[in-house]
Amino acid sequence: MRQFAELYERIDSTTSTNEKVNAMADFFQSSTPADSAWALYYLTGRRLKRFISSRSLREWTLELTQVREWLYDECYSSVGDTAECCSLLLDSYDLDQVDRSDTPAYRLALAEWMEDRIKPLAKADEQVQKEAVVEWWTQLDRHGIFILNKLLTGSFRVGVSQSLVARALAKVSKQEVSEIAHRLMGDWEPTPEWYEQLISEEMSSRALSTPYPFYLASPIEKEVEELGEPSEWQAEWKWDGIRAQVIRRGSEVFIWSRGEELITDRFPEIAQAALTLPEGTVVDGEILVMKGNAVLPFAILQKRIGRKALSKAILAEAPAALMAYDLVEFGGVDLRERPMKERREQLESVLGSASNVFHLSPTIHFESWDDLRTLREGSRERAVEGIMLKRLSSPFQAGRKRGDWWKWKIDPLTIDAVLIYAQAGSGRRANLFTDYTFALWDRDKLTPIAKAYSGLSDEEIAKLDNWIRRNTQDKFGPVRSVTPHHVFELAFEGINASPRHKSGVAVRFPRILRWRHDKKIADADKLDTLKAMIDGTNSSEQYDLSTDPALEKA
């Protein structure tokens, strides 16, 4: 456990990616396969279900330390995290003042903690859980208690990406980063046997369901003309759906989301259609709602997301399809290193025999960058997010590798809104008001329309935090009502009518563009202005591929 706690501290105390990679490599090099497997499980963002509630940790900490509830709440409002708040209080009220940095419990292996102590709590009653956890707290110092609390509540997170983890493992195993990244995909159990296979020169078996690492495009931050000759690039619409890989292996079908969630059961029509694909095929694409050649808005797809039971009515209203981008595997052969132009031609051939649930993502005809720029301006009318640009000679890489795949998104919708509520952030921003609620004028009153927490600089956040503390009108738990005074320009990607919202409108991905010091609250936009954007974006209409003259026909 001590090694794992030290690894967390090393990662958490640096912003250098190389330092993080080195910290993980040092841990894997010196740890047992069993400990490495469990560390890897958490480093890659996987989590076991919650064993202990935050409420229970709070109650047990109050009982053990005799801290008053109001004082705990004040401490929590400053820290913003139950696991950390409890560990700090338990450390501060440790009357024994014993050095616990090298106790037998701390020297206990991470795998032993997980297998012999933590996992058995799932079947224990609350009193047994309490006795065990309180006993463990007395055996660990603040750092160990913090890590333990995070594991118990299922909230352990650490600031590394899966690509950094793959780099660290490649450094230890002498394997290619791309190979390690592939092996890490999909479902696996944190066992020593699995870890030893992972870093072995030859992984003896790979699950039939294992997807490939997704290749992610980077946003264009320069003039598109700098990409070179248009003839070297393929352009497609940037579809607004769920990125997925459909796998047909061993007479079975598996559908994975970009977040490495197995979603086969949620899209039975795609799974059924995939049975017509040749054996050993992996298709990369976007799950959309389609009726024939018509693409329906994302709002329709949302009705299916998160549903475990799919009624006949919802299947009829929101039929799912896959807009296929790429062919990653064919005939059991990994095609990622082949040029995209070649993979595309093979994909066209494969989908020719597939069900109409699979659609080849059509390419956009353009002869110059100016042509494409003009077409991009019509993205919103087609209910797409912009344009994807892919170099015809590019391989299918892992992660967000810059240079070959770019996303050229449309400019966001914007509106000027008034700050009316604020709430403290979490983690390192727990002592700052960083989560804001904004409103528009509905006749003579301000109606909330969106929450946003990104877009301001650290200097602006500090300045606004100071102002919020001096201009709070009322408190509602962690939320503060502030004097309407400041106007901010908000950006968002889309808009829909929503009876669930007080304003009657829901915006997608709101964020702060800038603080409008030049405007008074009377200059903020009206709610009617926002509602008018719904019709202006055609967000309730479908887009028919067969009638778009911009598309090249396969």
Q: Write out the catalytic residue numbers.
A: 238
Q: 262: which DSSP letter?
A: B
CA distance 224 to 360: 25
Tokens of 359: 């659609």
Could you list the beta-strand ranges (E) of 99-251.
Answer: 218-219, 233-237, 242-249
Q: 364: which DSSP letter?
A: B
Query: With 0-12 CB in 10 A as exposed, 13-18 as middle and 19+ as buried, what is 430?
Result: middle
* First-to-final CA distance of the chain: 57
Q: Identify the bridge partners of residue 244 per DSSP, sorted by sequence position.
A: 257, 285
Reduce the DSSP state of residue 355 to 3 states and report it.
coil
Q: Look up tokens 């995939």; give the residue.
A: 274
Question: Do the Cβ atoms of 306 and 320 come closer than 8 Å?
Answer: no
3-class DSSP string for 371-428: HHHHHHCCCHHHCCCEEEEEECCCCCCCECCCCCEEEEECCCEEEEEEEEEEEECCHH
Tokens of 70: 């109001």
Q: 115: which DSSP letter?
A: I
CA distance 97 to 223: 62
CA distance 195 to 199: 7
Nearby residues of 423 by Cβ (< 8 Å), 6 or more positions away: 433, 435, 436, 437, 478, 479, 480
Question: Do the Cβ atoms of 181 and 166 come closer than 8 Å?
Answer: yes
CA distance 424 to 436: 9
Tokens of 156: 């352990």
